[in-house]
Structure 1
Amino acid sequence: MRFIDREEVAARLTYEVCIPIMRQAMIALSRGETKQLLRSIIPLSEGRLFGIMPGAMGSHAPFGAKLISVCRDNFADGKQSHQGLVVLFEPETGAPVCAVHAGEITAIRTASASAAATDALARKDARRLVLLGYGEQAASHAGAICLVRDLESIVVWGRSPERAHSFAERLRTKLGLPVSTAGSVQEAVAHADIICTVTSATEPILRGEWVRPGTHLNLVGSSYAGPAEVDNDLVLRSRFVADSREGVLHQGAEFIRARAAGLVRDEHIVAEIGQVLMGEIVGRRSAEEITVYKSLGHIVQDLASAWALYAPQSPVPAHGI
């Protein structure tokens, strides 16, 4: 059984490689070709979770599971908040064949999926990116979205001004773009074209009234029912696209809160991103529309990424991804 460590994942699963993989994975999910259960999450203690995500890329395609821990305090120590394994099983014999570093796959595939969604939903002339948060996902989202839009500037907001400034300096050096910080969320998003919420906020930090017409948002930080990064008004005002309709209906915190308040119904989710990517449903309908991509992350994204690393010369059968 092979093990693919963090360094190999980072070296081989680049954004250029992963973004097309995410497009195809999400199209396959929306076509009903993949199989997955809703993730099971076990709360361990404050800021610590353990998740189990099983699934298959098709009826006769690779299958497996992600075992992932989320420890928010790791960030302060310079460690990944998401740690674990993606375990792959060979489709014909059912034998386990590979375990892959899940933390690095999660960082890359999440940002790559957001980049694919941004390419489909953001205005073509979007140039100003705002990152709400300064952790690993903020860095990966900046790197991935640079590949789908010609960014002119990035603005960063975080609860610690010192950490936000330090992160902005590192990002400026890495990407060669102007990167500044903002003192408040409202200030940060005032001129945004694209906003990525990648925080560990438990209550909304972004209000709909602060978001200008034509903005695209990737809501990423909350991946289970409970914590919410944006308020009900933003959900109500937006053209709301899910990575998985079933997932967001059951575990998309921002949507669930707005629905519980009686502001939206299930039909407010206009599409899955796979439906937009395959051209089945229109994403953005006008330059003034606010679009939202709600990202929970799904096992088919992890399996597709892991299989590409394990068997790059063995594509998934046509009836799979």
Structure 2
Amino acid sequence: MSPHPVSPLLFDDEDVRALDAATAVGAVRAALLAHHSGALHAPPRLKADLGDGSALVITAGRLRTGASTRGLYGFRAYDTVVGGEQLVAVWDGADGRLKALVHGSELGPRRTGAIGAVAVDVAANPGPVRLGIVGAGRQAWTQLWALGAVRPLEDVVVAARSAERTAAFARRAADELGVRVRAVGSAEDAVRERDVVIVATDSTTPVLDMGWIAPGTHISTLGPKTVAGHEVPAGLPSRADVVFTDSLAQAANYPEPHLFATERMVELGAVLAGAAPCRTAPGQITVFCSVGLAGTEVALAAALLPGPDAI
């Protein structure tokens, strides 16, 4: 009689929130390098039409780890119906055992935050950063959470449409991260004289002006970035000296034309590996177009596993 299979470990948002930023950034950095080397196979996300303009979105990836040629594989599924709980599943690539299930809404944004931190670390000028954040939602929060793991934060300001949400963001940063954040009254105040600007909104019209962006600034855009609707100025692609993304395949797979020409982009994994240039002069403007490399969710979920099962 065969032994009972080991049940997969079940994780929720509380477990994900307990994961420290440095561990998350390390897991994602390794996955980005693996993607560049071919050890992470990550096809563009798939959308299953659920009618009325809604969909079930699935991302998947297979990650070969260490000396193993099998490693891990898995998927993340989330909906655009009501934005309900997401599910991430991780299997052992050697025996097909389901190792972990992560449910909730935290893992995806934490993964995106970790990718953003890696991008800032390779593109921003060296040293402490004066950070400006436009947006006060979950994506903006996880960018701040992760960035503290890679750079000292010298001065942080945040602006959003809601003064109440902006103030709450600043209070939370002090309470949970020990980071002093100043809530400012306009996006202009959050962009001018910043080393790094994080734009994390759902706006399809620009929330900042080209004239506010100083030479040497790094900008990460997380929200809409198609020709038809974009949170950053239409002139930014022509002014940027370097434009890069976490997945060229996903950027090219947008259903609408991308604001930033993918032919000009380089991949973050290639930059990390030294195979593609990024910033080469202090005065250059660099732009990171975050699209959420598939498979990185699996890598971050695997980081929750105990002992030798963790990556």
Is the CA contact (8 Å cut-off) linking 2:74 and 2:295 kept in structure 1? no
1:273: Cα distance to partner? 0.6
2:105 aligned with 1:99, yes or no? no
Deviations 1:115-151 (A, max 9, x none): 1111111011342111111112222211211222221
| Alpha-carbon distance in 2 for matches of 1:4, 1:304 | 14
Q: Percent identity?
A: 29
Deviation at 1:49, TM superposition (A): 5.2
Q: Which residue of structure 1 lines up, in the alignment, with residue 299 of structure 2?
A: 304
Give the number of equivalent residue pairs.
299
Matches within 5 A, 1:264-303: 266-269=262-265, 271-303=266-298
1:6 equivalent to 2:1? Answer: no
Which range moved further: 288-297 or 85-94?
Answer: 85-94
Note closer, same or farther for the CA distance 1:293–1:184 as it changes in structure 2 (3 Å cut). Answer: same
> AA paired with 2:263?
E
What do residues 55-111 of structure 1 show as CA deviations (whole Å, max 9, x unaligned)? 211462211110113578xxxxxxxx6731101122123243321125221122211
Give the secondary structure class of the aligned counterpart of 1:230: coil
1:237 to 230, 239, 242: 239
Write the deviation string for residues 151-185 of structure 1: whole angstroms up to 9, x where unpaired: 12111111112221222222234344432223222
Q: In angstroms, what is the RMSD of aligned CA positions?
A: 2.6
Whether the 8 Å contact between 2:237 and 2:259 is mirrored in structure 1 is no
2:100/2:305 contact within 8 Å kept: yes
**Which residue is 1:69 aligned to?**
79
Q: Which has the higher helix share?
A: 1
Provide the residue aligned with 1:181 in structure 2: 183
Larger deviation, residues 307-316 vs 109-118: 307-316
Deviation at 1:279, TM superposition (A): 1.4
Do 1:85 and 1:100's aligned partners in 2 also have CA atoms closer than 8 Å? yes
The secondary structure found in structure 2 opposite 1:257 is: coil
The correspondence of residues 126-275 of structure 1 with structure 2, limited to 5 A, is 126-222=128-224, 227-238=229-240, 239-251=242-254, 256-259=258-261, 266-269=262-265, 271-275=266-270
Tell me which stretches of 4 or more aligned residues in structure 1 moved more than 6 Å: 43-48, 223-226
Q: Secondary structure at the match of 1:195?
A: strand
Q: Which position in structure 2 is the counterpart of 1:75?
A: none
Mapped contact 1:209–1:234 kept (Cα < 8 A): no
Q: Which residue, out of 49, 57, 65, partners 1:51?
A: 57
Task: Output the amino acid matched with 2:34.
Answer: A
Structure 2: stretches of 5+ with no match in the other structure: 1-7
Normalising by structure 2, report the TM-score: 0.86
Relative to structure 1, is the Cα distance of residues 169 and 135 closer, same or farther in structure 2, using a 3 angstrom cutoff? same
Deviates more, 1:83-92 or 1:167-176: 167-176
The residue that corresponds to 1:31 in the other structure is: 37
Equivalent residue, structure 1, for 2:70: 60
Q: Secondary structure at the match of 2:71?
A: coil
Which piece of structure 1 moves more, 47-56 or 202-211?
47-56
Q: Following the alignment from structure 2 to structure 1, what is the Cα–Cα distance between the partners of residues 203 and 53? A: 11
Which ranges of structure 1 fall in alignment gaps of 5 or more residues? 73-80, 260-265, 317-321
Q: Distance in 2 between matches of 1:225 and 1:44?
A: 26
- C-alpha change, 1:110 and 1:277, in structure 2 (3 Å) is same
Contact 1:209–1:233 (8 Å) recurs in 2? no
SS in 1 for 2:258: helix
Contact 2:304 2:310 in 1 (8 A): no
Q: 1:211 to 1:221 in 2, by over 3 A?
A: same
Structure 1 CA distance for aligned equivalents of residues 146 and 53 of structure 2: 27
Equivalent position SS for 1:251: coil
With the length of structure 1 as denominator, give the TM-score of the two structures: 0.84
- Specify the code of the residue in structure 2 equivalent to 1:64: G
